[in-house]
Structure 1
Amino acid sequence: MRIGIREKRIATMLILAALFGSYLAAPVPVRAAGTGTIVFDLSHGQYKATIFNTTDLWLTGNLTQMGYTVVWAKGGINASILENAVAFIAGSIYGVTKGYSTAELTAITDWFNTGKKFMWIGYDSDFGGYTYINDNMTAILDGVDSHVYGEPTAVADPISCTGASYRVVANGTSTNSYVASIVANVNKVLMHGPTLVYGSNSTTPSHSTAPVALETTTITNVYPLLYYGGNATILDSDATPPIAHADGAKGKFVAATLEINAGTAKTGVLVVSGASPYGDYQPMYSDAYYGVALNGYNLVKQAIDFGINTATAVDMTLTYVIAAIGVVVVIVIIAIVLKRK
C-alpha cells in the first residue's frame, strides 16, 4: 500500500512529538555528587593542634575521598577565599579578640546570599560568660535571614554523656523521611560544652524576632536533625537568659537543624548546631571520647554532602517549560496537517 505525502508528514510530526515528550519525561539532571570546594574556618580560634592533626585531618580525608576539595582558612575570611566555594563551615570561635570583623561578616553573608550555597554554623555554650561566642555566630546567621539560632545558654546531661555532664551525647534523630539520609546510622553525637538551638517563626527572621522552641513549633523549610536525650538540662550561668527556653528546663531539646531555601536568594542550605562539627575541645565528628563509642562523623559527612548537593542542584524548570512549549507546537502543527486535504 502506498503511503501518501500527507501520511508521511503526519508520521514525521508524530515522531517529533514523541521525541519532545521523551525529553520532557527524562530524569532531572542535577549536580554531580561530591564536587566543589568546602572552606573550613580556622581563623577565629578554632585551631587546636591535637584535634587538627587527628580528627580534622580524618574529616579532610573522608571529604576528599567523596570528591570534594577542602580548604582550611587560617588567614581570615574574605571574598577571594570564598569565590569558588560551594560550602563554608564555621565552628564556634574562641577568644574575645578572635571575633569576625565587619568585612569578614560582609564577605560571608554576601557570598551565601548570592544563592546555591551551603553553610554550617556551629555554636558553643556561653558558660563562664562567654557571650562573644554566641554573638559572633549569630551575627553571621542574622545576615542571611536564618530561621534558626543558638541559645545563649548551656546544656548538660548527667546520663547521656562521656563521663561528665558537660560532655553531652545527643542520642535522638529526626524521623522525617526528607532528612533520612543525613541521620542514617547516627545515634551518638558528641556535643562538647554545647547549647541548644531555637527558631525565629517569622517571614522576616532574626535572632530576636518571634522566637520559638523547635521541640514544639514547626517552621517551614526547617528540619530538626539531632536531639538531646530526655535528661538534658538547660543550665544558664550568666546574666543573659535563654531566648526561647527557660533556665532549668529539662527535655529532648533540638541540638542541630537543617534549613532549605535559605538566604535572601531562597536557594541556600543551612545547618545550625549547638556544638562545632570540627575543631573545638572535641568535635561532633569524633568517633570515641572517654571510652564512649560515637558516630557523629556520619552526621557531619552526610549533612555536608546533602547540603551541598541540595543547594547546588540544577534547576530544570526553564528547560521543562521550553520542552513543553515545543510539544504543544508540534501537536498544533499535526492538527493543522490533519485538516488539510
Structure 2
Amino acid sequence: MNMMNVFILALLLNGCVAVDLSHGEADNCIEDLASYYGGCWITIGAKREYNGTVDMPLDEALSRSVLFIIGQPTDPFSPKEIEKIGKWVENGGILWVAGDSDYGSGKNVQFIVNSVMDGIGSNLRLDYASVEDPRNNAGRGYRVICFSRRGSRYLCHGPGPVAYLLDGKMHKLSGDQDNLEKEYPLKILIFAENGKIVENTEPLAEAYSALYDENVKIPIAVAEPLGKGVVILSGETPYGGYAPMCLDEYHGVKLAGRTILEEILTEVRDLEKSVPKVVKRKDGGRIVRTAEKCPGYDLGKSILVSLSIIALSTLIAIIIRRKIR
C-alpha cells in the first residue's frame, strides 16, 4: 500500500469505493486497485472473497460509498435498482458506468448501460459502434491507447464512443473538446487522439459515422453533473472486462493504469467548479444552464480521514513487522 495513494484517495473521497459484481461483471484488477489505494473498498454480489474488500448488498453499499463503479454489466438492472442508484447520485454520489464497443456481445453491454443512463436521467449514451486508433495503439487498431486531459495513457481495448442525448437524438462529441464543453454541460475525461469509428454489428451508430468520423478526437469517458452528484459514462471499464483500463502495461506499452481513479476523481471534483448544474425543462426537453454549482466536498473532513487512514495503516505495519521479528 502506498501512503501517498491513500492520502490522495482520502482527500478526494469522504467514503468508500463500491464496485458492482452482481450483474455479470468480471473481476480483473479489483484486488490490485484495492491494494494500490487502500482505504475502504466494497464489492456488491461477489462470488468469492477479495483481499482488501468487503461484500455488501446494494442498499448498504450505497449508504457507505461516495464512488460506485459498474464495469461492463452483462445482466440488466431492475427498475428498483436503477431508481435507488439514481436517487443516490441525485443526493451527491459519483457514479461511473462503464460499457463496451459493439463488437460481439459488447452490443448487449451497450444496451444495458444505456438503460441505466436513461433510468437515472442522464443525457450521456454509448453510441452503437467501436472506436479504433491507427496511430496510438498496442499493436492493433482496436487496442487503443487513450489519453487523459493531463496526457496520461490508458488502455481502451475495443472501446465504444460516448454521445450526448438531446431532444431524443444522440449527438456526437468528436472534435474540438473545448467547444464541446462550452456547448454541452459535460467534461471529457478520456479520449482517443486519432479516433476512427468502426461498425461491427447492428444497429448502426446514431451519432457517429464510419464514413466521416476518422482521425478525430473521440471521447471514451465523459462526466456530467446530475443533481448534487456526478455521473461518468465510459466506453471501457477500469476493472473487469477483457483488458481493463487499470493495466499498467499491455503488449509492451507502458501505461498509467492504476492511477485512473485518482485522475478521474480529480477531474470530477474540478467539474464542480467549471460546469454549471443542469436543469431539465418540460417544454421540449431543452436544457438550461444556471449559475448554481454542484456542491464541493469537505476538505477539512477529508484531511482528517486521510490522516486517520495513514496513522492506522502505519500502526498495522509496525505490528506486523514486530510479529515477523
Q: Do the two structures share a fold, i.e. TM-score over 0.5?
A: yes
SS in structure 1 of the partner of residue 217 of structure 2: coil
Determine the structure 1 residue equivalent to 2:193.
Answer: 229
Determine the structure 1 residue equivalent to 2:44.
Answer: 73
Q: Say whether residues 1:313 and 2:324 are aligned partners.
A: no
Determine the structure 2 residue equivalent to 1:86.
Answer: 66
Cα distance between partner residues in 2 of 1:228 and 1:198: 14
By relative contact order (CA 8 Å, sep 6+), the higher-ranking structure is 1
SS in structure 1 of the partner of residue 32 of structure 2: helix
Determine the structure 1 residue equivalent to 2:114.
Answer: 138
Which residue of 237, 251, 262 maps to 1:276? 237
Q: Say whether residues 1:122 and 2:98 are aligned partners.
A: yes
- Checking the alignment, whether the CA contact within 8 Å between 2:223 and 2:233 is kept in structure 1 is yes
Distance 1:189 1:303, change over 3 A: same
Q: How does 1:21-32 map to 2 (within 5 A)?
A: none
Q: Deviations over 1:129-174 (max 9, x none)?
A: 5432111111111122212211111112233111222211113x44
How many residues of Structure 1 are paired with residues of Structure 2 in the alignment? 251
Distance 1:63 1:306, change over 3 A: farther
Overall identity of the aligned pairs, in %: 24
- Pick the structure with more strand per residue: 2
Cα distance between partner residues in 2 of 1:134 and 1:32: 33
Cα distance between partner residues in 2 of 1:194 and 1:39: 23
Cα distance between partner residues in 2 of 1:301 and 1:32: 10
Q: Deviations over 1:13-36 (max 9, x none)?
A: xxxxxxxxxxxxxxxxxx964430
Q: How does 1:216-255 map to 2 (within 5 A)?
A: 216=175, 217-218=180-181, 219-230=183-194, 232-248=195-211, 249-250=213-214, 251-255=216-220
Which residue of 295, 301, 309 maps to 2:262? 301
Cα distance between partner residues in 1 of 2:295 and 2:242: 32
Determine the structure 1 residue equivalent to 2:124.
Answer: 148
Distance 1:132 1:147, change over 3 A: same
Cα distance between partner residues in 2 of 1:93 and 1:156: 22
- Checking the alignment, whether the CA contact within 8 Å between 1:41 and 1:77 is kept in structure 2 is no
Distance 1:223 1:130, change over 3 A: closer
Q: Say whether residues 1:256 and 2:215 are aligned partners.
A: no
Determine the structure 2 residue equivalent to 1:107.
Answer: 84
Distance 1:61 1:129, change over 3 A: closer
Determine the structure 2 residue equivalent to 1:213.
Answer: 172
Determine the structure 2 residue equivalent to 1:321.
Answer: none
SS in structure 2 of the partner of residue 228 of structure 1: strand
Question: CA shift at 1:211, angstroms?
Answer: 2.2
- Checking the alignment, whether the CA contact within 8 Å between 1:77 and 1:108 is kept in structure 2 is no
Determine the structure 2 residue equivalent to 1:191.
Answer: 156
Cα distance between partner residues in 2 of 1:150 and 1:119: 15
Which residue of 55, 61, 78 maps to 2:35? 61
Distance 1:91 1:254, change over 3 A: same
Compute the TM-score of the two structures, normalised by the length of structure 1.
Answer: 0.66
SS in structure 2 of the partner of residue 298 of structure 1: helix
Question: CA shift at 1:63, angstroms?
Answer: 3.0
Determine the structure 1 residue equivalent to 2:25.
Answer: 46
SS in structure 2 of the partner of residue 82 of structure 1: helix
Unaligned runs of 5+ in 2: 1-9, 47-55, 273-293, 299-325
Cα distance between partner residues in 2 of 1:246 and 1:107: 35
Cα distance between partner residues in 2 of 1:62 and 1:308: 21
SS in structure 2 of the partner of residue 252 of structure 1: strand
- Checking the alignment, whether the CA contact within 8 Å between 1:270 and 1:307 is kept in structure 2 is no
Determine the structure 2 residue equivalent to 1:337.
Answer: none
- Checking the alignment, whether the CA contact within 8 Å between 1:117 and 1:308 is kept in structure 2 is no
Unaligned runs of 5+ in 1: 1-30, 175-182, 203-208, 316-341
- Checking the alignment, whether the CA contact within 8 Å between 1:151 and 1:196 is kept in structure 2 is yes
Q: How does 1:11-26 map to 2 (within 5 A)?
A: none
Question: CA shift at 1:111, angstroms?
Answer: 2.2
